[in-house]
């Protein structure tokens, strides 16, 4: 596929009809909670667009983010994203290596100056002059600074790139920082999650390609389309929460019958992500549906918040969020922590209290 | 999961969401009738239980038209028993639902052929005609006459 021809022409050459593009746009509109009518406009815009150059940098990470994006797609609808982008550099996925790989990165930067997207997974270690992670003889910090210079925008995928993630967890031996601590003067979009939802990654890139602008972001620079609601807001166990019906242990009758997992440590009320609606593995399930509370992996510092199996009412370890333990037992507890979290977000200029 | 690949949460509980969706559909259908404005309700983003989904399907029922599309996977479209109210279900990988909406319109956009595809088809057909061997005509002529 030549990078000069429009996507519409390129797809037609591959036997992909406009109907397929419309179906893909309907899928994206659904993912991003855009009005259903937006799908026709998106399909038309995508047909006129050129392939988007993407340079993907992997720093202090576990490759889970790449796994998430590539393993979840089989060659059907969701796969179309790979026809829309030109993945010009990606350590794990590219065929070439060594000097040839670095030459491809520099070439893409030169050819698409001002237009390419930089996707980063992994945090950036600054301790000991960045010695904990180097690629092609330079530190992650050097590579990031050099690569983003002429980028259109930077997308931090995964909680490590977005907020520091596991490498940043106490005592942070490598001095890990998120991408936003280094990149200034460029838009940075955070798509957090450990790993992030593949739909959030593909949807954000496709949105930029169709509308030529960044999607609306929340106070943590996450696309509101995917991070606008809490897990709790969209959880199918919510009716039980409202009635104060809580599972008391994993796999008890309550847990099996859909009762709320709040008392088993669910962090759904303070976690913003789309797992409850998009689900995982092609829409099969998500942790709460499998009987396990939400860990809160898309939130900053989730690893250091006082234990995955402690109820929110026992405090998350972050200042100002602890709810008195005396309040434990019943609907009021959950309502209190959800309401407190909303107020905290509001105070930070985030979501308005409901 | 239901036979049609609907991966729900396994709960038969009816939360009342189906009724809320039906009211919205009724409002949009009146708008289509009065002002010719089309609309849609995105079902995929709603936290519906399997019970809610079954209730909604039951209440809307099936009308005169059903279509199966083979386009980047399978899609199924049917008109409900209310004219102008269509159920559009797109499947992605592994035949799981990727997008689903109730479209309130005369004909869902996905069924309409796009001008670019029509243009390409016209030229493909012309090319086919120009390159086809005259074998078909002679075969047919063998069957004509006594
Ligand atoms: S506390 Fe967790 S399990 Fe309970 S309703 Fe909220 S998100 Fe669902």
| Domain residue extents for chain B | 3-109
Q: What is the pLDDT of residue A3?
A: 56
Mean pLDDT, rounded, for B109-132: 92
The answer to whether the CB of A246 falls within 8 A of the CB of A253 is no
**Dist. CA A17–CA B71, nearest whole Å:** 8
Mean pLDDT, rounded, for B100-110: 95
CB atoms A77 and B100 under 8 Å: no
User: What separation, in Å, do the N-terminal and C-terminal C-alpha atoms of chain A show?
Assistant: 49
Query: Is the CB of residue B38 less than 8 Å away from at least one CB of chain A?
Result: yes
Which one, of A226, A233, A231, lies nearest residue A201 by Cα?
A226
Q: What is the pLDDT of residue A352?
A: 37
**Dist. CA A280–CA A274, nearest whole Å:** 10
Q: What is the pLDDT of residue B44?
A: 79
Sign of the torsion angle spanned by Cα atoms A11, A13, A17, A20:
negative
As to burial, measured by CB atoms within 10 angstroms (0-12 exposed, 13-18 middle, 19+ buried), residue B101 is buried
Query: Above 80 in pLDDT, residue B68?
Result: yes
Which one, of A71, A112, A118, A111, lies nearest residue A93 by Cα?
A71
Question: In angstroms, what separates the C-alpha of B58 from chain A's closest C-alpha?
Answer: 21
Selecting from A16, A19, A235 the residue whose C-beta is nearest the C-beta of B47 gives A235
3-class SS letters over chain A: CCCCCCHHHHHHHCCCCHHHHHHHHHHHHHHCCCCCCHHHHHHHHHHHCCCEEEEEEECECCCHHHHHHHHCCCCCHHHHHHHHEEEEEECCCCCCCHHHHHHHHHHHHHHCCCCCEEEEECEEECHHHHCCCEECCEEHHHHHHHHHCCCCEEEEEHHHHHHCHHHHCCCCCCCEECHHHCCCCCCEEEECCCCCCHHHHHHHHHHHHHHCCCCCECCCCCEHHHHCCECHHHCCCHHHHHCCCECCCCCCHHHHCCCECHHHCCCHHHCECCHHHHCECCCCECHHHHCCCCCCCCCCCHHHCCCCCCCHHHCCCCCCCCCCHHHCCCHHHHHHHHHHHHHHHHHCCCCCCC
Count of alpha carbons within 13 Å of A11, Cβ hemisphere only? 29
Question: What is the residue with the minimal CA distance to atom 6 of ligand 1?
Answer: A232
Query: Ligand 1 centroid vs A233 CA: distance in angstroms?
Result: 8
Q: Which residues on adjacent β-strands are paired with residue B90?
A: B75, B99
Mean pLDDT, rounded, for B4-25: 75
Query: Is the CB of residue A258 less than 8 Å away from at least one CB of chain B?
Result: yes
β-strand pairing of B97-104 with B85-91: antiparallel
Does the CB atom of residue A237 touch ligand 1 within 6 A? Answer: yes
From the candidates A17, A36, A81, which should be mutated to test the interface with B, based on the most B CB atoms within 10 A?
A: A36
Q: What is the pLDDT of residue B134?
A: 61
Does the CB atom of residue A160 touch ligand 1 within 6 A? Answer: no
Q: What is the pLDDT of residue A328?
A: 33
Backbone angles phi, psi at B55, to 5 degrees: -65, -45
**Dist. CA A115–CA A118, nearest whole Å:** 10
Query: Is the CB of residue A236 less than 8 Å away from at least one CB of chain B?
Result: yes
At B123, which helix (H) or strand (E)?
helix B115-131
Mean pLDDT, rounded, for B39-52: 84
Backbone angles phi, psi at B77, to 5 degrees: -130, 130
Question: What is the residue with the minimal CA distance to atom 4 of ligand 1?
Answer: A260
**Dist. CA A42–CA A44, nearest whole Å:** 5
Which range (A150-159, A305-314, B109-118, B122-131) has the least confidence?
A305-314
Does the CB atom of residue A265 touch ligand 1 within 6 A? Answer: no
Selecting from B49, B98, B117 the residue whose C-beta is nearest the C-beta of A27 gives B98
The answer to whether the CB of B42 falls within 8 A of the CB of B101 is yes
Q: B40 pLDDT band (50/70/90 cuts)?
A: very high
Model-level ipTM above the cut of 0.85: no
Q: Which CATH class is domain B3-109?
A: alpha beta
Q: B9 pLDDT band (50/70/90 cuts)?
A: low
Does the CB atom of residue A267 touch ligand 1 within 6 A? Answer: no
Q: Which ligand 1 atom lies nearest to the CA of residue A267? A: 2
Hey, how many other C-beta atoms are within 10 angstroms of the C-beta on A70?
Answer: 14
User: Is 0.90 surpassed by the pTM of this model?
Assistant: no
The answer to whether the CB of A47 falls within 8 A of the CB of A111 is no
Does the CB atom of residue A235 touch ligand 1 within 6 A? Answer: yes
Query: Ligand 1 centroid vs A334 CA: distance in angstroms?
Result: 9
The residue to mutate among A262, A272, A275, A285, having the most atoms of ligand 1 within 8 angstroms of its beta carbon, is: A262
Dump the DSSP string for B13-81: ---SHHHHHHHHHHHHHHHHHHH---EEEE-TTS---HHHHHHHHHHH---S-EEEEESSSEEEEEE-S
Compare all CA atoms of chain B with the CA of A232 and give the residue at the minimum distance.
Answer: B47
**List of chain A residues whose C-beta atoms are within 8 Å of the C-beta of residue B103:** 36
Query: Is the CB of residue A45 less than 8 Å away from at least one CB of chain B?
Result: no
Please give the average pLDDT of every successive group of 10 residues along chain A, which has 354 residues.
Answer: 72 85 87 80 88 92 83 55 80 84 92 93 96 94 96 96 96 97 95 92 86 93 95 93 96 93 97 91 86 96 90 64 34 45 44 34
The answer to whether the CB of B15 falls within 8 A of the CB of B49 is yes
CB atoms A19 and B114 under 8 Å: yes
Residue B84 gets the label, from left (phi > 0), alpha (psi -120 to 50) or beta, of left
CB atoms B114 and A22 under 8 Å: yes
Question: In angstroms, what separates the C-alpha of A243 from chain B's closest C-alpha?
Answer: 13
Does the CB atom of residue A231 touch ligand 1 within 6 A? Answer: yes
3-class SS letters over B63-120: CCCEEEEECCCEEEEEECCCCCEEEEEEECHHHCEEEEEEEECCCCHHHCCCHHHHHH
- Domains annotated on chain A, with CATH: 1-50 (no CATH), 51-227 (3.40.50.700), 231-347 (4.10.480.10)
């Amino acid at each position: 596929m030549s990078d000069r021809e429009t996507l519409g022409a390129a797809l037609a050459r591959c036997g992909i009809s406009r109907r397929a593009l419309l179906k893909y746009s309907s899928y994206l509109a659904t993912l991003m909670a855009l009005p259903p009518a937006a799908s026709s406009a998106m399909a038309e815009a995508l047909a006129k667009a050129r392939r988007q150059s993407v340079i993907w940098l992997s720093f202090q990470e576990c490759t889970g983010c790449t796994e998430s994006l590539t393993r979840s797609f089989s060659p059907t609808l969701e796969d179309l994203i790979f026809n829309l982008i030109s993945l010009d550099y990606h350590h794990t996925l590219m065929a070439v290596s060594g000097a040839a790989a670095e030459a491809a990165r520099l070439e893409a930067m030169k050819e698409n100056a001002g237009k390419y997207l930089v996707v980063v997974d992994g945090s950036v270690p600054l301790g000991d002059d960045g010695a904990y992670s180097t690629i092609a003889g330079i530190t992650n910090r050097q590579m990031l600074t050099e690569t983003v210079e002429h980028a259109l925008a930077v997308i931090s995928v995964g909680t490590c790139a977005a907020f520091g993630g596991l490498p940043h967890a106490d005592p942070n031996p490598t001095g890990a920082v998120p991408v936003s601590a280094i990149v200034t003067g460029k838009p940075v979009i955070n798509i957090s999650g450990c790993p992030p939802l593949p739909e959030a990654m593909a949807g954000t890139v496709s949105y930029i390609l169709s509308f030529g602008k960044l999607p609306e972001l929340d106070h943590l620079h996450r696309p509101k389309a995917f991070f606008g609601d809490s897990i709790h807001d969209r959880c199918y166990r919510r009716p039980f929460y409202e009635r104060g019906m809580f599972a008391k242990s994993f796999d008890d009758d309550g847990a099996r019958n859909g009762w709320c997992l709040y008392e088993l440590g669910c962090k759904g009320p303070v976690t913003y992500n789309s797992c409850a609606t998009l689900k995982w593995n092609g829409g099969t399930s998500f942790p709460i549906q499998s009987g396990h509370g939400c860990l809160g992996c898309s939130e900053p510092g989730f690893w250091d918040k006082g234990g995955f199996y402690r109820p929110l009412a026992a405090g998350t370890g972050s200042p100002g969020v602890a709810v008195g333990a005396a309040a434990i037992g019943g609907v009021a507890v959950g309502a209190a922590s959800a309401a407190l979290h909303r107020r905290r977000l509001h105070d930070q200029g985030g979501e308005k209290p409901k | 999961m239901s036979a049609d690949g609907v991966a729900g949460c396994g709960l038969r509980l009816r939360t009342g969401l189906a009724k809320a969706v039906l009211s919205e559909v009724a409002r949009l259908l009146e708008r289509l009738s009065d002002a010719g404005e089309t609309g849609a309700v995105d079902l995929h983003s709603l936290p519906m239980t399997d019970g809610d989904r079954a209730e909604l399907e039951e209440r809307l029922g099936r009308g005169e038209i059903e279509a199966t599309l083979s386009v980047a996977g399978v899609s199924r479209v049917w008109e409900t028993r209310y004219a102008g109210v269509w159920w559009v279900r797109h499947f992605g990988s592994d035949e799981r639902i990727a997008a689903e909406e109730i479209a309130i319109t005369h004909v869902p956009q996905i069924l309409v052929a796009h001008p670019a595809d029509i243009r390409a088809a016209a030229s493909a057909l012309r090319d086919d005609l120009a390159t086809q061997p005259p074998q078909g005509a002679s075969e047919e002529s063998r069957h004509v006459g006594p």
